[in-house]
Amino acid sequence: MKFNIPNALTWARILLIPLFVGVFYLPDSTLPILDKNLISCVIFVIAAVTDWFDGYLARRLGQTSSFGAFLDPVADKLMVGAALVMLVELERVNALIAFIIIGREITISALREWMALVGASRSVAVSYIGKLKTTAQMIAIPVLLYHDTLFGVHVRPIGTALIWVAAVLTLWSMGYYLRRAQQALKDAGEV
């Protein structure tokens, strides 16, 4: 593995996960819940911005690599998974929603691996609906982590609505990828 800035940013995102989770396990006397909410929200937003930035730098600096292509989505899924588990524990997200989103990520990751093995990885390349799902999710999670008022508006209902939208888009995008993969596998004689 060759060191480069994009991969370092991806590793930094992974290293933020224990910090992100650990914030909630500090005693309330050390760090009140409102501060925990704000700090976890800021860490998550930093991770999300880092995700965009490492991809941009990899392309801009010509530092793309197979290792980076592997590690980047792993870092994303770990961070989103950790956030959803914490939000379920804090009773801000329904466990069913967390299961749908995390289950879809595992399913599509396995599907992409399988499709790569049969030489049909282009059939499960990132789609527009997948990008919409990610956008809804990446707005909903920090809003639900923040869990306070912003400009006089309590943000929890907004975050809750967006996470439900993300769950629906998650199922829709999973169906889309599975249909595309099924056709590619039929064409390749795999099913």
The pLDDT assigned to 115 comes to: 77
C-alpha 172, offset from chain centre: 16
- Condensed to tens digits (0 to 9), the pLDDT of residues 88-143 reads 999 999 999 999 999 999 998 888 887 777 776 666 667 788 889 989 999 999 99
Domain span holding position 12: 1-91
- Whether the per-residue pLDDT at 65 is higher than 90: the answer is no
Is residue 50 within 8 A of residue 12, CB to CB? The reply is yes
Do both 52 and 131 map to the same domain? no
Is residue 83 within 8 A of residue 20, CB to CB? The reply is yes
Beta strands per DSSP E along the chain: 149-150, 153-154
- Whether the per-residue pLDDT at 179 is higher than 80: the answer is yes
Do both 59 and 98 map to the same domain? no
Q: Higher model confidence: residue 124 or residue 12?
A: 12
Do both 3 and 86 map to the same domain? yes
Do both 5 and 85 map to the same domain? yes
When pLDDT is averaged across residues 32-51 and rounded to a whole number, the result is 95
Do both 60 and 74 map to the same domain? yes
The pLDDT assigned to 189 comes to: 67
Provide the number of structural domains found in the chain: 2
> What is the spatial distance between Cα 75 and Cα 52, in angstroms, rounded to a whole number?
12
pTM above 0.85, yes or no: yes
The last residue of a domain, from among 69, 91, 113: 91
